[in-house]
Amino acid sequence: MSHPSPQAVLVLPRLRIQNANAIGSPLTHGFPSITAFTGLMWALERRLAQAGVPLRLHGTGVVCHRYQEQVTEGYVRSFNLTRNPVDKDGSTAAIVEEGRMHLEITLVLSVSEKKAPSAAPALVQGNETQLAAWAHAVGETLAGMRVAGGSVLPSRPVPGKRVRPWIGIVPDEPQEASRLFRLWRRQWLPGFALVGRDDLLAARLEHLRTSRPHAGVLDAWLHAVRFNHQPLPCKDGAPVPDGKIEWGDPLRPKGSGWVVPIPVGYAALGDLHAAGCVRNARDAEAPVRFVESVYSLGQWISPHRLNSLQQLLWHAETDETLGLYRCRSGYRPDPSVDTEERAADASAEWDDADAFA
């Protein structure tokens, strides 16, 4: 499904989020689900409409600069849990496990203007005063909201970086839009952008079916999210020197990237129930459907490896027939980039990742 080119971009830089939800799904943890940020996008659009800001939000991109998951150190880790007050009879209250983490992220939203048919457009180049006012209103509105369940803290000044929300117009000419995006992405360094890699899951399924013809997508996903070590043969076919065998994962060579399992949406478990039919529903005026999480593979890449704004953005898609509600990434790997070129820069990328941890 193709999405229209964004009219403008709304950037919320260097957001400091305290106690965000670190459990993205029943099977993953370490970063909030991408659905948390698309949900934030819709909630923010509704708040802006109430404030009189005529902006429509279409897609969202996430760049993580720092993260600190609240877990114990060691090979086996567990979440740092809060101690609840005692019950009325003095007994210890039950502990509901919840994962928390602190984040410093940049949110990139594609926006368009909601205007009357006879009104002159305001989301245009040269109208910096109005754009700055809208960006300021967005920042004030977001300060009172929850981001992935966490609280928004005031941003700290960063030398040479923008820390206040701003709006940029996307040019219609592809060359000018590409040039402007290269300037924008410098502001998001150092950091890593989360993109979708459904192609890697399809490739892993194809590889797995060579030895296991009845393997399914879930088998391929579980196989891809773990290290599968085995003896590695020499590249030139020569015998192993000194009888030493090198072990490793042949499907995760050096330079293969920072690939992670992620939830990307929800799949329906049953039919759609009419509004008000389900007791204790959150919204009695909206239809209700019971769902389960949908999983795929994602990759953390440096923003300077993105060639366009569309590669960064995630869009929500709905298929009522299949009962599928998922987020789709616009990232497509560049086949012209050689694997050896990625391997040459792999050490630098992993050094940055270690610095953020």
Q: Which of 245-254, 323-332, 339-348: highest mean pLDDT?
A: 323-332
Q: Report the pLDDT value the prediction gives residue 344, as an integer from 0 to 100.
A: 40
Same structural domain, 127 and 258: no
**Residue 88 resides in a domain:** no
Distance between CA atoms of residues 191 and 184, nearest Å = 13
**190-222 pLDDT, tens per residue?**
999 999 999 999 999 999 999 888 888 999 999
Q: What is the mean pLDDT of residues 39-48?
A: 93
Same structural domain, 235 and 287: yes
Same structural domain, 206 and 138: no
**132-170 pLDDT, tens per residue?**
999 999 999 999 899 999 999 988 887 877 889 999 999
Backbone CA torsion sign across 352, 78, 260, 308? negative
Axis-axis angle for helices 217-224, 198-208 (nearest 10): 100
Same structural domain, 131 and 21: yes
Distance between CA atoms of residues 269 and 276, nearest Å = 19
Q: Report the pLDDT value the prediction gives residue 337, as an integer from 0 to 100.
A: 58
Same structural domain, 268 and 321: yes
Q: Based on the structure, what is the number of domains in the chain?
A: 2
pLDDT category, 40, cuts 50, 70, 90? very high
Q: Report the pLDDT value the prediction gives residue 2, as an integer from 0 to 100.
A: 59
**Token code pair at residue 189:** 């360094």
Axis-axis angle for helices 34-50, 128-142 (nearest 10): 120
Residues spanned by the domain of 350? 198-297+307-356
Ordered alpha helix ranges (H), 84-195: 128-142, 174-186
Same structural domain, 66 and 210: no
pTM: 0.84
**Residue 338 resides in a domain:** yes
Percentage of the chain beyond pLDDT 90 is: 41
Last residue of a domain, one of 196, 226, 249: 196
**66-118 pLDDT, tens per residue?**
998 888 887 887 888 877 778 788 787 777 778 889 999 999 999 988 877 77
Chain centroid offset of residue 226 CA = 20
Last residue of a domain, one of 143, 165, 196: 196
Q: Is the pLDDT of residue 237 over 70?
A: no
Using CB atoms within 10 Å of the CB of residue 222, give its burial: 0 to 12 exposed, 13 to 18 middle, 19+ buried: middle
Same structural domain, 226 and 179: no
Same structural domain, 262 and 330: yes
Last residue of a domain, one of 196, 228, 260: 196
Mean of all residue pLDDT scores within the chain: 84
